[in-house]
Amino acid sequence: MTGYGKAECNTEIGKITVEIRSVNGKNADIGLKTQLIPRENEHEVRQLISKILVRGSIDLFANLESTRESTGKSINKDLFTAYYNQIRDINKSLPESLSETDLLSIILRMPDVIESQKSSPDTDIWESLKACITDAANALNDFRSAEGKKLGEELKKRVALILENLTQAEQFDEERAQLVRTRLQSKLEEVKGSVDFNRFEQEIIYYLEKLDITEEKVRLRQHCSYFLETLDKEDFPGKKLAFIAQEMGREINTLGSKANHAEMQRKVVMMKDELEKIKEQTLNVL
């Protein structure tokens, strides 16, 4: 969702420059940081930007470099007189008085004595301004597209690492079951008295079934596949990718709770690390 777009156009009264910046946002939050847009056209501009950029926290800046000669300056007579009277009184008390020329020079440099007379933008530049806004929004979209391709590759890389760690974790599954069996047998040997070994085998099977991660592995692979499919096929997959990432997290957490094996737990931690990076990146996907 982050991006920057700029466009310029020339009109009869000067050059218009429009800049649009966007960062992450759940909806289209548009701020118009300019007085060039007529108030009655602000809603139209918001709709235009929302249609092109869809969502994000978006700020629009517009500037007009006027070439009209009618823009001039004038002296604020009341303020000039007030400054003159005060400075003249101060000048009389000085050991060495200033000349009238020096007094005039000082007064003309005082704040707001010289006023700029800027003509307001004519309504006839509206169509040019609107076209410039459209061009800037499209430029921002192009920027997003270029960044989006890089982001897509990064997300695919992270999903591939999760699947790689899952495959490596599976290698410890048989060893994990054997360790559980050995540990239970060791505990059993510490108990004095006769043992029903048939019942013992049933309890081991029941315990191992509780630790079975087959369903979690299947669902996690399905979620990863769905994530990649959504990323490739949908125009605006951001929110759906966030939901899929949440489901991936549930399966990874369950794998961790059932791991009962140091090396498998390490692979789970690595999967969680990659998933957190995915969640951070999906915030920037439309």
Among candidate residues 2, 20, 16, 5, the one with its CA nearest the CA of residue 60: 20
- What's the rounded Cα separation, in Å, for the pair 56 and 143? 14
- Segment 169-182, tens digit of pLDDT: 888 877 776 776 77
Kindly report the backbone phi and psi dihedral angles of residue 29, in degrees, each rounded to the nearest multiple of 5, phi listed first.
-105, 100
What are the residue boundaries of the structural domains of the chain, listed by start?
Answer: 3-69+121-142, 72-117, 148-176+211-282, 177-210
**Residue type at 196 in one-letter notation:** D
**Phi and psi at residue 136, to the nearest 5°:** -65, -40
Ranges in the chain, pLDDT < 70 = 1, 67-73, 115-124, 177, 180, 184-197, 199-209
What is the signed CA dihedral for 133, 136, 142, 146, rounded to 10 degrees?
A: -140
Tell me how crowded residue 207 is: count the other CB atoms within 10 A of its CB. 14
Which residue from 271, 265, 252 is spatially nearest to 173, judged by alpha carbons? 265
Architecture of domain 3-69+121-142: 2-Layer Sandwich (3.30)
Structure tokens at 45: 């501009």
Q: Given this model, what pLDDT does residue 132 score?
A: 94
Other C-beta atoms within 10 Å of 167: how many? Answer: 12
- If you ran DSSP here, which 8-state letter would residue 215 be given? H
Distances in whole angstroms, Cα of residue 182 to Cα of each of 175, 176, 210, 241: 10, 10, 17, 42
Segment 140-166, tens digit of pLDDT: 999 988 888 899 999 999 999 999 999
pLDDT score of 70: 46
Q: Which residues pair with 116 in a beta bridge?
A: 73
Quote the CA–CA distance of 277 and 265 in Å, as a whole number: 19
